[in-house]
Structure 1
Amino acid sequence: MKTILYVRVSTTDQTSAHQRKQAEGAGFKVDDVLADDGVSGVTTLLAERSQGKRLFDMLRRGDTLVVRWVDRLGRNYADVTETIREFMRRGVIVRTVINNMTFDGATTDPVQMAVRDALIGFMAATAQAQAEATKEAQKAGIAHAKDREEAYRGRKPSYSRAQLDAVRAQLAQGASVSAIARDTGLSRQTVYRIQEDPAEAEAALARWAA
């Protein structure tokens, strides 16, 4: 009977070595480690990962599968719950380092089975909810950063590089604002702003990389 540690590494602070150290520190004697690096637990099911597939081939009745927490198996509720139940049907014991949870198919008591299955569902749902919350927080952070960037950059110029050059050239030649507006297709207000502060007009284009 073997004890296999499965590791899913999705960020730089979740190294295989770190997760193995945690498991051994919790008292697990690990015989083998299977690790999937840089794999999303949301979009990639366990059976679709290179090392995740090996788990289904390697684990035998009486073996123990150890994971840091159920989110290492995945962050998809349906996939995680079905995976744990499939391993239990095969006689594999699933254990977590965090909270020291144990899931197996040994019990036949209906109440204990109900509690076990409810706990599996709760943990899997929590893993997916955390992933969705993180995604929403990232989206909000990106939107906030974009808003701050746009606030710094100011209002986007209503003129292009070619139009700015044309306005400046015609102003230098003494053309009227109305004539320049007509020739360039810009509003008179825009031409006036360029005339009053050509340096800022140039800077605005530079901020917007136009």
Structure 2
Amino acid sequence: MRLLCGLLLLGTAAAAQSDYPRLHDVVGVASNDVLNVRAGPGASHPIVGELAYDSRAVEVIRVEGNWGLVNVHELPGWTSLRYLAPRVDGDIGNVPRLICGGTEPFWDIDIRPGQSATVKTPVNYEVGDTFSVGLMKRAYNPLEKWVLQGGAGARDLSVVVVKAYCDNGMSDNEYGFDATVIVTGTDGYVLSGCCELAD
């Protein structure tokens, strides 16, 4: 019986871990206070940043115990999950916005699933290429992959997002999604980088 209970608890923990990255809102912090972000998952670690008492759409990348890894001012850090409420629509399949980017070349894409996606590269950074896009769709396989497709005239856009550790080479931030952006048609291109959930 103890073994069965232990296995059930492990399964619950694994399921909870698989829910990340996810957006959260800061809760339970007084309006004259801040939520500390620490160098490690515990109150004994030094403070490396802070979140405002009313911060919204904070992306928790992964968890360790009761602590969540977040990015603050181009630096990853840990904050107590006691003060972070997960959003119902805070997972990759439901968020209103996804922002991805990378280097060599420097680029970014601002995705609003079901609406539009704008890709900016050094060639067109002021205006960007804007595509009408559908919703994020899950591609079921051993790796968790999500696909977004769209178009603009004779050009097509495909974005493949994999739930995996990612380093974009631009900051010390840690990301929970790796992305490949493919534009086909006139002056097509392929880009690789990292994504974060947004509001």
Same fold (TM > 0.5): no
Larger radius of gyration: 1
More strand by share: 2
TM-score (norm 1): 0.19
More helix by share: 1
TM-score (norm 2): 0.20
